[in-house]
Amino acid sequence: MALLLTAGTAASLLSLSGRVGRKRRCSGRISAINRLSPDITEVQCDLGKNWPGHRAGQFALVTFNSLEGSHPFSLASANQGDGRVTFLIKALGDYTRDLSRKIHSGQAVSVEGPYGRFDVTQNRHGARQVWVAGGIGITPFLAGLEEQQKYPERASMTELHYCTANTATDPTVTRLHELCAALPQLALFIHDSHKGEKLSADQLLISQPASHALDIWFCGPTGLARSLKEGLKGKCGSLRFHQEAFELR
Q: Which ranges of 17-161 does DSSP label H, i.e. alpha helix?
A: 94-97, 99-102, 139-148
- Which DSSP helix (H) or strand (E) runs through 227? helix 222-232
Q: How far apart are CA 97 and CA 125, in angstroms?
A: 43
Q: Single out the residue of 214, 54, 229, 238 nearest to residue 123, CA to CA.
A: 214
Give pLDDT tens digits for 25-54.
999 999 999 999 989 999 999 999 999 999
Q: Which domains occur in the chain, in start order?
A: 24-115 (2.40.30.10), 128-243 (3.40.50.80)
Return the percentage of the chain with pLDDT > 70, whole number: 92
pLDDT digits (tens, 9 = 90+) for 204-221: 988 776 667 899 999 999
Asked if the bond preceding 114 is cis, omega within 30° of 0, the reply is yes
pLDDT in tens, 112-164: 999 988 888 777 888 889 999 999 999 999 999 999 998 888 888 899 999 99
pLDDT of residue 135: 93
The residue among 20, 89, 81 whose CA lies nearest residue 46 is 81
pLDDT score at 249:
41
**Tens-place pLDDT, residues 156-210:** 889 999 999 999 999 999 999 999 999 999 999 999 999 999 999 999 988 776 6
Q: What is the separation, in whole angstroms, between the first and last Cα of the chain? A: 30
